[in-house]
């Protein structure tokens, strides 16, 4: 684990690169503003930073991160809608062309949803209500994974949660409209930490296949 001093030193290396050696990138971002073509809904997990995983520069991705990379269904009632607000900004204001829901293996939020005692005992005030978004994914995984180990069940649930979030994206009218017009595409990704592989959700089968550039 890095100390705070190491984080500050890391910032200075970032500063050296982007504000001295390669200053043109940030000059462009400052003068023209951000114009990412891709939004990523990712997990808060420290191991799965989407910009690092995809080797992107500042300005390439518009990212919102939450527990278990979930997209809630469209709701206009009370409460605070951080993920929904980020989605609206990305689609309506930035006019991104792609929205990616990026799940991953060994997700603590999914483990809590499945009742893993290490995660669920102390995660009741905010995490449990939030994870209820993925209740359908939990039921789907349980129905399809009879006799599975916890790791196998968690993997099935993590993938099912990505598919559930893709369905929830289509409950937002502005997303449906953009998809219908052909100006927006939705994608489900799954980062396998154990194998170091990126899997993509097949629109045809809803299964996940190893990502191949250009496919």
Contact of 38 with 96, CB cutoff 8 Å = yes
pLDDT in tens, 168-210: 999 999 999 999 999 999 999 999 999 999 999 987 778 999 9
Res 165: pLDDT: 97
In a domain, 202, yes or no: yes
In a domain, 98, yes or no: yes
Please state the φ and ψ torsions of residue 196, each to the nearest 5 degrees: 65, 40
Res 122: pLDDT: 64
Q: What is the pTM of this model?
A: 0.93
Interior/surface letters 45-64, b for 16+ CB within 10 angstroms, e for the rest: beebebeebbebeeebbbbb
Contact of 73 with 171, CB cutoff 8 Å = yes
Res 32: pLDDT: 95
Q: Where are the beta strands (DSSP E) in the chain?
A: 38-43, 61-66, 98-104, 185-192, 197-201, 208-210
In a domain, 21, yes or no: no
Res 176: pLDDT: 98
Domains contained in the chain, number = 1
In a domain, 155, yes or no: yes
Is the per-residue pLDDT at 118 higher than 70?
A: no
pLDDT in tens, 27-72: 999 999 999 999 999 999 999 999 999 999 999 999 999 999 999 9
In a domain, 215, yes or no: no
Which structural domain, as residue segments, surrounds residue 105? 37-210
In a domain, 80, yes or no: yes
In a domain, 5, yes or no: no
Q: How far apart are CA 131 and CA 95, in angstroms?
A: 28
Q: What is the CATH number of the domain that holds 185?
A: 3.40.1050.10
Confidence of residue 79 (pLDDT cuts 50, 70, 90): confident
pLDDT in tens, 156-168: 999 999 999 999 9
Please state the φ and ψ torsions of residue 4, each to the nearest 5 degrees: -60, -35
Is the per-residue pLDDT at 127 higher than 90?
A: no
Q: Where are the beta strands (DSSP E) in 44-163?
A: 61-66, 98-104
Residue with the two structure tokens 């689609």: 91
| Mean pLDDT score of the chain | 92
Q: How far apart are CA 11 and CA 19, in angstroms?
A: 11
């Amino acid at each position: 684990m890095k100390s705070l001093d190491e984080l500050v030193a890391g910032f200075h290396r970032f500063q050296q690169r982007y504000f001295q050696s390669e200053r043109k990138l940030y000059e462009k971002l400052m003068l023209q503003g951000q114009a990412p073509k891709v939004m990523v809904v990712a997990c808060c997990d420290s191991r799965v930073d989407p910009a690092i995983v995809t080797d992107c520069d500042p300005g390439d991705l518009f990212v919102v991160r939450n527990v278990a990379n979930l997209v809630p269904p469209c709701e206009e009632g009370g409460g605070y809608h951080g993920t929904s607000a980020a989605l609206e900004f990305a689609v309506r204001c930035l006019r991104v062309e792609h929205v990616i829901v990026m799940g991953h293996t060994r997700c603590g939020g999914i483990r809590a949803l499945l009742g893993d005692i290490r995660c669920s005992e102390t995660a009741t005030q905010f995490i449990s209500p939030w994870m209820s978004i993925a209740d359908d994914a939990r039921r789907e995984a349980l129905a399809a994974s009879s006799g599975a180990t916890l790791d196998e069940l968690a993997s099935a649930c993590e993938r099912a949660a990505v598919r559930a979030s893709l369905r929830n994206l289509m409950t937002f009218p502005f997303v449906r409209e953009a998809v219908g017009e052909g100006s927006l595409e939705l994608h489900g990704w799954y980062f396998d930490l154990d194998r170091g592989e990126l899997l993509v959700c097949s629109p045809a089968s809803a299964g996940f296949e190893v990502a191949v550039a250009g496919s």
